[in-house]
Amino acid sequence: MAAINSEEINQLSKRLRQEQRSLLLRRVRSSYGLLIGGVLLLFIIALALLGPLLSPYNLTGMTVINRFLAPSGTHWLGTDEFGRDLLTRIIYGAQVSMGVGLAVALISSALGLVIGIYSAYYKALDHILMRICDGLIAIPGILLAIALMAALGASVWNVIIALTIVFTPGIARVVRSTALVVREQTYIEAMHAQGASDTRIIWRHIVPNTLSPLLVQATFVFAEAIISEAALSFLGAGVPVDVPSWGSILQAGKLVIYKAWWVAVFPGIMIILSVLSLNLLGDGLRDLLDPRVKQKVKRLWSRK
């Protein structure tokens, strides 16, 4: 066998990386859903972060004369019952709604990852943790969240806690099912034979392989958390009334819907756009990260 020098190996691996990258780029470009979802999501995040700097109105500035102004050049989305600029409230609401969604997605992913991985790795833990997850999944999500909010009291953090309790078990299940497959791979067995510690095997070798399905699942949880926060706040069991979130603005809009439709409709549109963008992103990521799924989905959806 001819010896290959390190220079050649370097070049080869460089070429391989380049090829992989261009393949990835091609696949991103070919997935319209992913692109549209990603751009829309970036736009909403930019609105939440930069909007407050651009808006000429402040959040709480009330002018009684300006009550219920219809959308116009000065107030693009109109004003509410206190004469507050609706666009400004929706921008600040984006911070709360998207913030809650993101926090729930991140925290429940982190918890779900740990629970899922350790359940998959340790049989004894599996029985206990998965039974708990099964039980929590069996309780309808929004009802569990309502009951938790009733006990915890209205606050942004409590919404995050309640929704994290609702969504963590589902993520743990996804992570566990992936990790179970990874655990049975030969290279994990090889790691054992080499005497690697459990911690090393779990965190260096199993966790990285569960990250793609976790990412996809986290995107869907992000979307569901936005809807759930909106539903909770809409029912008056979410964020406190004085905190603007899309759900709480919508709730205020419900009361005045016959007088000023815009107060309810615009935050609703924001909810729909953000959820749609996340769903498109999630679908796109799933296809991108797992080509097998893409083929399967293609077969199901466009069988010729």
Partner 1 sequence: MFAYIIKRLLSAIPVLIIVSIAIFSIIHLTPGKPAATILGMEASQEEIDALNQEMGYNLPIYEQYWNWVSHAVRGDLGDSIFMRQTVGEAIAGHIGPTLSLALVAQIIAILMAIPFGIIAAYKRGSLADVTLSGIALAGMAVPSFMLGLILMLVVGVELRWLPNSGYQPLSSGLTEHLKYLILPGISLGMIQAALITRMTRSSMLEVLSLNFIKTARSKGLRETTVLLKHAFRNAFLPILTVIGQTFGTLITGAVVVETIFTIPGLGQLILNSIDRRDFPVIQGIVLVVTLIYVGLNLLVDLLYGIIDPRVRLDRK
Binding residue for partner 1, selected from 120, 231, 285, 288, defined by CB under 8 A:
231
Site for partner 1 in 93-122 (CB under 8 A): none
Of 1, 2, 199, 258, which lies in the binding site for partner 1, with binding defined by CB under 8 A? 258
* Contact characters 189-228, partner 1, x per CB under 8 A: ----------------------------------x---x-
Site size toward partner 1 (CB under 8 A) is: 47
User: Judged by CB under 8 A, which stretch of 22-30, 75-83, 208-216, 260-268 contacts partner 1?
Assistant: 260-268
253 to 48, 110, 273: CA distances (angstroms): 20, 35, 18
Q: Of the candidates 237, 239, 249, 281, which one interacts with partner 1 according to CB under 8 A?
A: 237
Of residues 129 through 188, those in contact with partner 1 by CB under 8 A are 131-132, 134-136, 138-144, 146-153
CB of 292 to partner 1, least distance (A): 17
Smallest separation (angstroms) from partner 1 to the CB of 147? 5
CA angle 149, 150, 151 (to 5 degrees): 90
- Stretch touching partner 1 by CB under 8 A, among 47-55, 66-74, 198-206, 253-261: 253-261
**Could you write out the three-class secondary structure of the chain?**
CCCCCHHHHHHHHHHHHHHHHHHHHHHHHHCHHHHHHHHHHHHHHHHHHHHHHHCCCCCCCCCHHHCCCCCCCCCCCCECCCCCEHHHHHHHHHHHHHHHHHHHHHHHHHHHHHHHHHHHHCHHHHHHHHHHHHHHHHCCHHHHHHHHHHHHCCCHHHHHHHHHHHHHHHHHHHHHHHHHHHHCCHHHHHHHHHCCCHHHHHHHHHHHHHHHHHHHHHHHHHHHHHHHHHHHHHCCCCCCCCCCCHHHHHHHHHHCCCCCCHHHHHHHHHHHHHHHHHHHHHHHHHHHHCHHHHHHHHHHHCCC
Stretch that binds partner 1, among 5-13, 71-79, 95-103, 255-263 (CB under 8 A): 255-263
The CA–CA distances, whole Å, from 136 to 53, 130, 140, 145, 273 equal: 42, 10, 8, 11, 29
Residue in 104, 216, 230, 239 binding partner 1, rule: CB under 8 A = 230
State which residue, 102 or 235, has the beta carbon closest to partner 1: 235
Q: Choose the stretch contacting partner 1; rule: CB under 8 A; options: 17-25, 87-95, 96-104, 266-274.
A: 266-274
Q: Does position 254 bind partner 1 by CB under 8 A? A: yes
Residue 236 interacts with partner 1 (CB under 8 A): yes or no: yes
Q: Which residues pair with 85 in a beta bridge?
A: 79
Contact positions with partner 1 (CB under 8 A) in 278-297: 279-280
Interface with partner 1, residue 61, by CB under 8 A: no
Give the residues lining the site for partner 1 (CB under 8 A): 131-132, 134-136, 138-144, 146-153, 223, 227, 230-231, 234-237, 250, 253-254, 257-258, 261, 264-265, 268, 271-272, 275-276, 279-280, 300-303
